[in-house]
Amino acid sequence: MTRPFPWMSLVAVVAVSLVGCARPSPEATPIPSAAASAPATPATSSSAPAADIRLELVADGLVAPVGLVSPGGDGDPSFVVDQTGLIFMLRDGQVLDDPWLDLTDRIVRLDPEYDERGLLGLAFHPGFAQNGRFFVYYGTRAENADDNHDNVLAEFHADPASDRADPASGREILRFGQPQPNHSGGGLGFGPDGLLYLGTGDGGGRGDADIGHAPGGNAQDPTRLNGKVLRVDVDAEGEEPYVIPSDNPFVDDGGRPEIFALGFRNPWRLSWEPDGDRRLLVSDVGYGRYEELDVVERGGNYGWRVREGAHCLDLDEPLADLETCAVADEDGRPLIDPVLEYSHEEVGLAIVGGFVYRGADLPDLQGRYVFGDWSADWQTQQPLPRGSLLVADPLPAEAGSWTWRQLTIDEPRNLFVTGIGEDATGELYVMTRGLTGPFGLSGAVYRIAPAR
């Protein structure tokens, strides 16, 4: 079986390529207009269920939007992240024509047919309104000839009242090599503790096992930054761009001190619960069969590449059931199961994460985790845009797996879902495009609104 796969998910027995991928078919199945659950239950009535939500177009004509981020404050503006290296300001419900920040000259040259690199993350300092500091995560040209590219975490400054940020204000604060072009991660944000978190992918290739990967996989190797959630303090005094929080798990234990948690394949997005324990939620893209959401704790090991989701994994037979596998890593840390998982047969191929909804427009979603998936499976060489939006009910720790279902959408569309964004008021947005690669002008941003 050989076919192309989304930039966040490699679901194959053999390595594949998107070279020669055609435009999506106009007959593709749209974002779902009928509810599904885990497991799916046949409808008992011929009448279509009432829609849960509506998608309200905010901006189109973009190339490859992957995120929408707010600095906080009074609710305006927000900023749209485009994989090609551009950040656009969203103000008064309109995306400004000129980019707020242009980093295209720093981004590695992208393949228009398909690419996982580029500008992947944006986070505003909690004090942005006063200090103008913000951080981005992107792929750039490799310094080491053995690597495909380097991943860079950089800091910039801007006048919060200006329509433009100055690209000359940037400085790299962390840089590390990426052996293959896929699986860079991209989740980036400031936690309730005021520290900066970054989700990094395992380095790409097939099963975290290709050239440039540790013998047991980068994700399980605490001496490598790939396949981790990192945590650093960017507010410490001194000339260093960051310092290590004293309670990071590998400060005195032989690993990279930036590591907060390990065992991830491709942690595309992260967010925190807005209330209560403010738990860290990380969406980690799956391999052959399962997508997962993890509640991430300091020092936790989330299983990749020993497990996919809550299931034992055989890299040589990723679609087969493996009865037993390790329950802990070499240092005795237990491998932690996700709080939510779904199969590719049920929904789709790549979880793109989301947020616990805290807005006012959709009362039925209050306190629930709203998230997306890139596209449903396809059985041909031509990928079809069949993204999904879903909702899950968070449960307390040790209370079991979260229940979830697909959201029904008024006037569904044929789209790839590439990200979920949140503005300062807690309202949610969906990043989409019609093509698999960062090319053309099929990218759009929709606001999640009440169904009519």
Sequence-separated (6 or more) residues with CB below 8 Å from residue 277: 397
Task: Specify whether the CB–CB gap between 403 and 394 falls below 8 A.
Answer: no
pLDDT band at 49 (very low <50, low <70, confident <90, very high): low
The long-range contacts involving 192-196, CB below 8 angstroms and separated by at least 24 positions, are 192/272, 192/278, 194/126, 194/233, 194/235, 195/231, 195/232, 195/233, 195/234, 195/245, 196/123, 196/135, 196/231, 196/232, 196/233, 196/234, 196/242
Paired tokens of 104: 């295209």
Task: Specify whether the CB–CB gap between 187 and 270 falls below 8 A.
Answer: yes
Mean pLDDT for the stretch of residues 322-333: 94
For 355-375, write each residue's pLDDT tens digit: 999 999 999 999 999 999 999
Is residue 346 scored above 70 in pLDDT?
A: yes
Give the pLDDT confidence score for residue 32 in this predicted structure: 45
For 193-226, write each residue's pLDDT tens digit: 999 999 999 999 999 999 999 999 999 999 999 9
For residues 336 and 332, what is the distance between their CA atoms, to the nearest angstrom?
Answer: 12
Q: Edge-to-edge strand order for the sheet containing 388-393?
A: 351-356, 369-373, 388-393, 403-406
Give the pLDDT confidence score for residue 286 in this predicted structure: 96
For residues 102 and 122, what is the distance between their CA atoms, to the nearest angstrom?
Answer: 13
Q: Which of 428, 448, 449, 435 minimizes the C-alpha distance to 67? A: 428
Question: How far apart are the two ends of the chain, measured CA to CA in Å?
Answer: 42
Q: Where do the DSSP E strands lie in 273-329?
A: 280-284, 290-296, 307-308, 311-312
- Cα separations in angstroms, 306 against 209, 230, 254, 314, 325: 12, 20, 22, 8, 7
Burial of 37 per CB tally in 10 Å (0-12, 13-18, 19+): exposed
For 391-431, write each residue's pLDDT tens digit: 999 999 989 999 999 999 999 888 999 999 999 999 999 99
Give the pLDDT confidence score for residue 48 in this predicted structure: 53
For 4-30, write each residue's pLDDT tens digit: 344 344 333 222 222 223 323 333 334
For 265-280, write each residue's pLDDT tens digit: 999 999 999 999 999 9
For 163-189, write each residue's pLDDT tens digit: 999 999 999 999 999 999 999 999 999
396 SS3 class: coil
Give the pLDDT confidence score for residue 434 in this predicted structure: 95
Q: Which of 337, 342, 336 minimizes the C-alpha distance to 291? A: 342
Task: Specify whether the CB–CB gap between 311 and 320 falls below 8 A.
Answer: no
Q: Which of 205, 391, 367 minimizes the C-alpha distance to 293? A: 391
Mean pLDDT for the stretch of residues 92-113: 96
Q: What is the pTM of this model?
A: 0.91
Paired tokens of 242: 């960051």
pLDDT band at 85 (very low <50, low <70, confident <90, very high): very high
DSSP string, 55-73: EEEEEEEES-EEEEE---S
For residues 305 and 338, what is the distance between their CA atoms, to the nearest angstrom?
Answer: 14
Give the pLDDT confidence score for residue 334 in this predicted structure: 97
Mean pLDDT for the stretch of residues 432-436: 96
Is residue 314 scored above 50 in pLDDT?
A: yes
212: left (phi over 0), alpha (psi -120 to 50) or beta: left
Half-sphere exposure of 289 (CA within 13 A, CB side): 15
Which H helix or E strand runs over 313? Answer: none
Residue with tokens 């964004």: 421
Burial of 53 per CB tally in 10 Å (0-12, 13-18, 19+): buried
Mean of pLDDT over the chain: 89
Please calculate the CA angle 220-221-224 and round it to the nearest 5 degrees: 125
For 103-134, write each residue's pLDDT tens digit: 999 999 999 999 999 999 999 999 999 999 99
- List, in sequence order, the alpha helices (H) in 116-262: 128-131
